[in-house]
Amino acid sequence: MKTNDVILQTTTKVVFFIIFLFSIHIFFAGHYTPGGGFVGGLLTTGALVLLLLAFDLKTVKQALPFNFTIVTGIGLLLALGTASASLVFNVPFFTHAFDDFTLPLFGVTSLHTAMLFDAGVYLVVVGAAITIIQSIGGDA
């Protein structure tokens, strides 16, 4: 019997973007409200897992042709790089800096290097979680 997933797949196409946008929101909100790189990364992983459930491994791999081990590596590099920038300025490791910038669309925005570190955490969480799921779920 041929199963028909049309409702599941159509809903997923909408819900995926809602979850993904929420994860980005949670990621950026982390400095002032609950959230941050780890939950943000897990929510993105959740969205990707929903895609995997509704479609199959091969389709999702075609849609997102990343090697997630590399994603983990880039995330680690970003985190270590942010922390090591302090080596250049000869201040203790992990010293962060922030300033207010006037951006074209957002107006005056406070940007903090902790956000770059969080971006590293986000990428590591997504990369590691998807690698686990892909390697348990896949044949190879």
Per CB under 8 A, residues contacting another protein are 69-70, 72-73, 76-77, 80, 84, 86-87, 90-96
Judged by beta carbon, residue 50 or residue 76, the one nearer another protein is: 76
Angle at 68 between CA 13 and CA 113, to 5 degrees: 95
- Is the Cβ–Cβ distance between 37 and 125 less than 8 Å? yes
**Residue 11 or 84 having the CB closest to another protein:** 84
Strand, coil or helix: 109: strand
Say how many residues make up the chain. 140
DSSP lists the bridge partners of residue 64 as none
Q: Which is nearer to another protein, 70 or 111 (CB)?
A: 70
Q: Taking the complex as a whole, how short is the minimal distance between the CB of residue 121 and another protein, in angstroms?
A: 14
Among residues 18 and 91, whose Cβ is nearest to another protein?
91
* 3-class SS of residue 139: coil
- Rounded to a whole number of angstroms, the minimum distance from the CB of residue 22 to another protein is 29
Q: Rounded to whole angstroms, what are the CA distances from 62 to 11, 104, 137?
A: 20, 35, 16
The distance of closest approach from Cβ of residue 97 to another protein in the complex, given in angstroms and rounded to an integer, is 10
Instruction: State the minimum distance, in angstroms, from the CB of residue 96 to another protein.
Output: 7
